[in-house]
Amino acid sequence: MTVLDRSGAQQSSPHPAPPPAWRPAGDAASLLPQDTPYRVLGSEPLPVPPALLGDGPRPDDAELLALHGHLAKGRRYNEQATALTKQGSLAVYPSSTGQEACQIAAALALAEDDWLFPSYRDSLAAVARGVDPVEVLSLLRGDWHSGYDSRATRVAPLSTPLATQLPHAVGLAHAARLAGDELAVLALVGDGGTSEGDFHEALNFAAVWQAPVVFLVQNNGFAISVPLAKQTAAPSLAHKGVGYGLPGVLVDGNDAAAVRQVLSTALGRARSGGGPVLVEALTYRLEAHTNADDATRYRADDEVAAWRAHDPIALVERELTARGLLTEAHAAQVGAAAEELASDLRGRMRTEPSLDPADLFAHVYARPTQQLRQQQAQLQEELAAAAEGGPR
C-alpha cells in the first residue's frame, strides 16, 4: 500500500498507522484480568488484589457474621423453593445452591439508588436486595411476568431469555448518566449467557458510552449440560472485556467477602464516572440446572464433591471458627432466621393467588388499542353470561 510521508514523498507500507481518532484510549494491558482468582477467605488467600481494587481490608467480625447469616438464609431459601416445585406450588425453580456468595454479594454491594438486573437464576439476589420472597417467585409460579414493582425495588424483572437483560441494563445506566443521576447498575449473567449476542452488544455499548454498569458473570461451569470449554477458547470470560475496552477482574465466586469487595469497588468506580467493569466469578451450582434436569448425565460425582469442599458457607464458617466467632448462640440465631424465612415462604405459597381476568388487558398498552378494548368487552360479556348460568 502506498502512503505519503510528511514531505509528500511516496513510501510503501503494508500497515499504515490509523488516524489517532481510531485508536482506543487507555493501555490494553491495564484491561487484562489477573491470572489467579482474587480471594480473601480460604486456606490460600491472595494478599495482592487486582490493580483495579487497591489494597482492601479483610472483612471485620461484624461483616463476616452478617455474611454468614445471609448465606444461611439463602441456602434455606433455595432448599425451600426446590421443595415447592416437588409439591406443585412452582412450575420450575433454577436453584442457586453453591452460588449463594455471588447472589448475596450482588445485593449487599449495591447502594440504595443502584439498580439490579438479574437473570432467571438470581431469585436469591432479588430477595437479598429486599424484594418480597413470594413476589420473586411469581414468574416461576406462572402468575405474572414479574411479580414485583421494578421501579420501587430498583430490581428489573428476572430474565428468562439468556442475556437479554444486559442491553437493558446498559440503557438504564446510560440514561442515568445523561440525566446526571449518581447511580450504578449491576447486571448478572451466567457463563452460558456470554455466548449470546446480547452480551457482546451490551459490553460494546457500555464501553463506548462509558455507562456506569458492572457486569457480573457467574461462571458455574455449565450452560445447562454444555461445559465452558465447548463455549469459548478464551483464557477466561473476564478476558472478553479487553476487546471492548472494559477492564476485567477474576474473583473466587464462592468467597463472599472477596466478591463483595470486588463488586463494591467496581460499582463505586462506575458510579463516580470510571466506566464499566466486567467481573467473572468462578463458582459452581451444586444442584441440577433446574428441577427438570438430570445433572448426573453430564458431570461426575467426584467433581461435585470437590466443589462441596469449597462451599461458600463452609468458607465463611472456617473463618468464623478461626476467629472464635462461630458460637452455639450465633449458629442457633442464624438457623432460626433461616427457618423463619422458609416457614413464611411455605405458608404464603399455599395460598392460591386471586387472579382478575381483566388484568390481561391492564398492562399491555398505556393507551389500549381499539382491538384490545373489543377483546376486553367480549371477555366481560362472556364472564357475565357465565355468572348468570348462561352459555359460555
184-206 average pLDDT score: 97
Across residues 38-61, what is the average pLDDT?
66
- 249-259 residue pLDDT tens: 999 999 999 99
Q: Would you say the C-alpha torsion 16, 17, 23, 29 has a positive or negative sign?
A: positive
pLDDT value for 28 = 81
Q: Report whether pLDDT(124) > 50.
A: yes
Which pLDDT score is estimated for 21? 42
> So where are the chain's domains?
25-349, 357-392
pLDDT at 291: 87
**pLDDT computed for residue 55 by the predictor:** 54
Which residues does residue 2 pair with via DSSP β-bridges, in sequence order? Answer: 12
Q: Per residue in 126-169, pLDDT tens?
A: 999 999 999 999 888 887 777 899 999 999 999 889 999 999 99
- For the record, the C-alpha cell of 258 comes out as 472477596
Residue 236 predicted with pLDDT over 80: yes
pLDDT value for 56 = 58
pLDDT of res. 26: 59
Q: Count of H helices and E strands in the chain?
A: 14, 9
Q: 155, 118 in Cβ contact below 8 A? A: yes
Digit-coded pLDDT (tens) for 270-293: 999 999 999 999 999 999 998 888
Q: Which of 21-25, 47-51, 255-259 has the lowest mean pLDDT?
A: 21-25
CA atoms within 13 A on the CB side of 311: 15
Whole-number pLDDT of residue 223: 92
CB hemisphere CA count around 205 (13 angstroms)? 15
**CB-CB contact of 11 with 17 (8 Å):** no
The predicted model gives 1-26 an average pLDDT of 42
Do the Cβ atoms of 69 and 332 come closer than 8 Å?
Answer: no
- CA dist 303 and 148 (Å) reads 37
CA angle 173, 174, 179 (to 5 degrees): 95
- Domain 25-349, CATH: 3.40.50.970
Give the pLDDT of residue 30.
Answer: 84
Asked if pLDDT for residue 355 goes beyond 90, the answer is no
Say what the pLDDT of residue 344 is. 96
- pTM of this structure: 0.86
pLDDT band at 262 (very low <50, low <70, confident <90, very high): very high
- Give the span between the Cα atoms of 268 and 284, in whole angstroms: 27
Q: Which whole number is the average pLDDT over 213-235?
A: 94
Q: What is the pLDDT of residue 1?
A: 39
Q: How many CA atoms lie within 13 A of 368 on its CB side?
A: 14
Secondary structure (3-state) at 11:
strand
Mean pLDDT, all residues of the chain:
88
Of 102 and 390, the one with more pLDDT: 102
> What is the pLDDT at residue 13?
41
Are residues 136 and 158 in contact, defined by beta-carbon separation less than 8 angstroms? yes
**Does 22 score more than 50 pLDDT?**
no
For the segment 1-9, the average pLDDT, to the nearest whole number, is 40
Contact of 256 with 104, CB cutoff 8 Å: yes
Task: Compute φ and ψ for 188, nearest 5 degrees.
Answer: -100, 145
**pLDDT at residue 3, rounded to an integer:** 36
pLDDT of residue 352: 78
